[in-house]
Amino acid sequence: MIKTKRLIALLFAAFAFSSAISIQAQTLDIDRQLKYCSTQVHRALDELRHKDGTYDYTMQPRNILNGDRQKGWNCRPAKAEEWCDGFWPGILWMTYQTTGDEAVRRAAEGYTESLRGIAYQPCYDHDIGFLMFCSYGKGYEVNHSREYKDVILASADSLATLFNPIVGTILSWPREVKPHNWPHNTIMDNMMNLDMMFWAAKNGGNPLLYDLAVTHAKTTMLNHFRPDGSCYHVAVYDTINGNLIKGVTHQGYADNSMWARGQSWAIYGYTMVYRYTHNKVFLDFAQKVTDVYLKRLKQTSDDLIPLWDMDDPRGTKAPKDASAACVVADALLELQEYVGDEKGAEYKAIALQTLAQLSTPKYQSGKRNVSFLMHSTGHHPAGSEIDASIIYADYYYLEALMRAKRLNVR
């Protein structure tokens, strides 16, 4: 009864968030949704399995595009250039954690192993964090393998080679320096990859990795955001004096627009930085970037799933981005623990209602394909992965559900 009353109070806090957003009284049955994810994973594995019972571990699931007739994943080669290749192994490791299914574990080991070489070659770009920590990191949570730990530490050292001490951030896209005349570019996505550096410094890696990650977070905080807390996708720096040249977009609608997934990276990123540093500056900033997102969400969306860019002039006719909603819900479930009080309760309620909305037939793929969710948007300006099922949406959805489970939400 006490848990029920607490949940009702949280739901009322969510309703108070905005009458402009239709937050219906939807119940989030976490165990049911975790079972759904497990079912979809097994369906996907069946689709990926060859007739002889083997898998091609060198091909990692990426997307199922709107209009695709097949139900299985479109796959990409396991290599550093494919930034999403760590998410499927991570999903398998999380699924094993919730089910104990040894077949899933064996598949997780195979898909993870296919990425090993990336840790021991020159760093292609910042996404080595997504690639290696979402795969080997999730695997290490299960097996505590020294071998996995060594791969993570090597990956963190590799990422550190992109740090520019004059600028104070990690170079995101070396390949874009000449084509765009971006001497040193840092994208908001890079905040997510600091997780691996912090973890490595804490778990036997070079202690300098901690300092580099903190410096990156501070420099990004100073230069990558507008006064209201909304972020640019890309910050371009001068490599001679380290000064900011300009803030621009690459995947958003415009340089001054709020690209939803970019803002979600900021929310998750600064929440994670506070986890490792316990520096209140980062906690306050995590709330600032969250609050402007929620304010704009209230103004632009008919539910808690944002438009791909909150400044798309088409308004609610523009595509949604379920992946951004997953990242935000995941982050809010952690952030609310640090914030506490009424504001923390509001963050928690919004996170749970976001997951509840994502868990309806409107957003779940169900039997239409083997993914968890539909209606994500990848790179809209390039016409890529618009209104699609995308692997990282599923990853953060499952991670958020598992986080909610650990919070003992009923």
Would 354 be classed as within a structural domain?
Answer: yes
Would 402 be classed as within a structural domain?
Answer: yes
Work out the burial of residue 39: count CB atoms within 10 Å of its CB; fewer than 13 is exposed, 13-18 middle, 19 or more buried: middle
The one catalytic residue among 85, 127, 309, 311: 127
Q: Tokens at residue 187, please?
A: 């994208």
Would 14 be classed as within a structural domain?
Answer: yes
228 counts as catalytic: no
pTM of the predicted protein model: 0.94
Would 143 be classed as within a structural domain?
Answer: no
Q: What is the pLDDT at residue 24?
A: 46
Single-letter amino acid code for the residue at 355: L
Task: Tell me the residue ranges of DSSP E strands in 183-263.
Answer: 184-187, 234-237, 244-248
**DSSP code, position 135:** I
127 counts as catalytic: yes
- 3-class SS of residue 270: helix
Give the position of tokens 């819900």: 329
The one catalytic residue among 31, 125, 157, 189: 189
> Cα(147)–Cα(140) distance, rounded to whole angstroms?
9
Residue 372, domain extent: 8-55+285-410
Q: What is the pLDDT at residue 19?
A: 41
H or E element in which residue 59 lies: strand 59-64
Q: How many CB atoms lie within 10 A of CB 59?
A: 19
Across the 410 residues of the chain, what is the mean pLDDT of every consecutive 10-residue run?
46 47 67 98 98 97 95 97 98 98 98 98 98 98 98 98 98 96 98 98 98 98 98 98 98 98 98 98 98 98 98 98 98 97 97 98 97 98 98 99 86
How many domains, the chain? 1
Q: What is the pLDDT at residue 6?
A: 52
Would 245 be classed as within a structural domain?
Answer: no
CATH number assigned to the domain comprising residue 318: 1.50.10.10
Q: What is the pLDDT at residue 409?
A: 59
Q: How many CB atoms lie within 10 A of CB 150?
A: 14
HSE-CB for 382 with a 13 A CA cutoff = 8
